Structure 1
Amino acid sequence: MTTVGKRAALTPRQLTRTSERLSFVYLERCTVHRDANAITAEDADGTTHIPSATIGTLLLGPGTRITHQAMSVLGETGAAVAWVGEHGVRYYAGGRALTRSSTLVEAQATQWANRRSRLAVARAMYRLRFPDDDPDGLTRHELLGREGRRVKDCYRAQASRTNVPWRGRQFTPGDFTSGDAVNQAITAAAQCMYGITHAVVIALGCSPGRGFIHSGHELSFVLDIADLYKTDIGIPLAFDVAAEGDEDVGPRTRRALRDHINQTGLLDRCVQDIKRLLLPAAAEASSGPTDEEDRVTLQTDSGLDAAAGRNYGHEETSW
């Protein structure tokens, strides 16, 4: 097996685009190792090979062990890794970004640093979630109030559609079984979405903690993006799972969510949504540095970028 130190780092051109990857792969009660550029999952039934470059997020369930070599290839190919408990999902590690460009993270910082543009992005997020509702002119307090009412309406509508009794959102952190089947499904779907959207945010080179609606947490932007699909995907799917029965709600929710995401191309949608929110003009025109460019410039006082790799000690400039 080739060691990490003898291999050159993969370039974005060699990596599979985020939108073309599997949303997530869930493994449990096995040993995860590496064979060339694939990871292997070995259990009592044998060994399964999984191309690492096709994985968006690897969810490691109870009873899993993973080797250093497996983690190294997952990091190289930009896959996110989350250790998963029996009663929910927590995100503990991530791979490299799939881009060499800092365009999106700089746009994110610029939009976030100004209160007006930060509110404008929050309104744009609301518009993505509820395209039939115009949030222009709404304050943050009004946005939160309107969002809360829309989510409650979604719960009631899905309960009526599936004939699943709904007694309100019930969730105790750390105690997955404290709620009924539909609440468990909602929790499982939401936590899986956090892992998936975290993988996309990291792959695009954005900052997970610089949110426009959520704040004060290392995953604030991840929570912002995951919420874009709550009423569209997460809640309806959770009610569908609960309508099928009370047994194995967590695993059934994960499988249903995985299948839905792969069938609908949610990863590609998530990538495009983030680009439209942070760089709306560039997203429409498809302009700016591409993911494959390895472009380094120097900042100047005039706001223009200067070429890197040069010594400016004896040059007079108009910066």
Structure 2
Amino acid sequence: MLPPLKPIPMKERVSLLFIEYGEIDVLDGAFVVIDKTGVRTHIPVGSVACLMLEPGTRVSHKAAALAARVGTLLVWVGEAGVRLYASGQPGGARSDRLLYQAKLALDDGLRLKVVRKMYALRFGEEPPQHRSVEQLRGIEGARVRKTYELLAKRYGVKWKHRNYDVQEWDAGDLPNRCLSSATSCLYGITEAAVLAAGYAPAVGFIHTGKPLSFVYDIADVYKFDTVVPVAFKIAAAEPENPERAVRLACRDVFRETHLLKKIIPGIEEILAAGEIEPPQAPEDAVEPAIPNPESLGDAGHRS
């Protein structure tokens, strides 16, 4: 039997790495990516929150098992990270927190309180009184569209509206492609945080009926403070490979803003708005404080 591990706390990790066109395996106890020429790139998997696996990636059983043991989420995404197909489980789910989340989502009054809290955190002001979840969703949509217009104007980007087709990626205009790449990066680390905190990605409050509804809910709280400005800035620069430029810029923003340190406490704050006593972690489940890992540079970002 393998000895028990004490994974590095999520807030202490590097946010995410993208990997494509390589075989992921474990050699001599180390997590490695082997490219078509046989070159090995070592990945300190235990200090990474999420590995985004793009087309052309193969994962061995040993690698998947090691990632699960150290609490690193594996996410299978489409080209340029614009579509999320499947994800692993970093081992953080707890039944008490799942039940707590479900109780809030199934009670109309409690759900509305949670949605109002999300709105307040996202826009920095309390939402209008006496509005339903559906009405708040409509108000939010109008504000989001206006924010896109303002950011496009700020960065000098020609903007029509938010529109893209994942089946015809290259047919989308540059700003929409950059936005899709940026939000996929955000969804990756948000899903890692949701799962690590012990909650269900599918049990949402504003978004419903999708496998990642709660991930979308939480990501939207941070979207305009992190990745959306990045997307418009990259679109304005018109680089040769905009998707890769967006990924690298998002990675840097996640580090600079210490986003992973904010998401899990943010989830707890949002759900606490339902005024149900939240589940407490047992003392022996508290993660030890471990120093920040060294920066990884551009390892794993292969374009």
TM-score (norm 2): 0.85
- The code of the aligned residue for 1:144 comes to R
| Deviation for aligned residue 1:246 | 4.9
Whether the aligned pair in 2 keeps the contact of 1:91 and 1:195 (CA below 8 Å) is no
- What secondary structure, in the 3-state scheme, does the structure 2 residue paired with 1:170 have? coil
User: How far did residue 134 of structure 1 move?
Assistant: 3.2
1:19 aligned partner = 11
Measure how far apart 1:151 and its partner are: 0.7
Residue 291 of structure 1: how far off its partner (Å): 7.0
1:122 partner SS? helix
Unaligned stretches of 5+ residues in structure 1: 1-5, 295-319
Q: Who is 1:311 aligned against?
A: none
Match of 1:50 in 2: 43
State the Cα distance separating 1:121 from its structure 2 match.
0.4
1:30 matched residue in structure 2:
22
Secondary structure at 2:74's aligned position in 1? strand
**Distance across 2 between alignment mates of 1:193 and 1:52:** 19
CA contact (8 A) 2:117 2:273 kept: no
Q: Which protein is bigger by CA-based radius of gyration? A: 1
**Which residue matches 2:3?**
8
Distance 2:191 2:3 in 1: 26
Tell me the equivalent position of 1:231.
Answer: 224
Please state how far the C-alpha of 1:260 moved relative to its aligned partner: 0.6
1:306 maps to: none
Q: Is the Cα–Cα contact under 8 Å of residues 68 and 91 in structure 2 kept in the other structure?
A: no
Q: Residues 36 and 262 from structure 1, CA distance in 2 versus in 1: closer, same or farther, beyond 3 angstroms?
A: farther
Rounded Cα–Cα distance in structure 2 between residues aligned with 1:182 and 1:143: 27
Q: CA deviation at 1:91?
A: 4.2
Q: Which residue of 198, 210, 215 maps to 1:205?
A: 198
1:129 corresponds to which letter in structure 2?
R
Aligned equivalents of 1:86, 1:104: Cα separation in 2 = 34
Q: Deviation of residue 112 (structure 1)?
A: 1.4
RMSD: 2.5
**CA distance in 1 between partners of 2:110 and 2:32 (Å):** 46
TM-score normalised according to structure 1 size:
0.81
Mark the CA change 1:289 to 1:280 in structure 2 (over 3 Å): closer, same or farther. Answer: farther
CA distance in 2, matches of 1:158, 1:164: 8
Provide the secondary structure at the position in 1 that maps to 2:204: coil
* Secondary structure, counterpart of 2:203 in structure 1: coil
Give the aligned partner of residue 92 of structure 2: 98
* Pair 1:136–1:16, CA change in 2 (3 A): farther
Percent identity (aligned): 34
Post-superposition offset of 1:108: 0.8
Matches within 5 A, 1:51-130: 51-87=44-80, 88-98=82-92, 102-130=95-123
User: Unpaired segments of 5 or more residues in structure 2?
Assistant: 287-303
Say yes or no: does 1:251 pair with 2:244.
Answer: yes
Count matched residues.
Answer: 284
Q: Structure 2 CA distance, aligned partners of 1:27 and 1:59? A: 6
Question: CA–CA distance in 1 between the matches of 2:135 and 2:124?
Answer: 17
| Alignment partner of 1:288 out of 276, 280, 286 | 280
CA deviation map 1:4-44 (0-9, x unaligned): xx30343xxx1111111111111122221114554111223
For residue 34 of structure 1, what is the amino acid of its counterpart? V
Deviation (angstroms), 1:65: 1.9
Partner of 1:228, secondary structure, is: helix
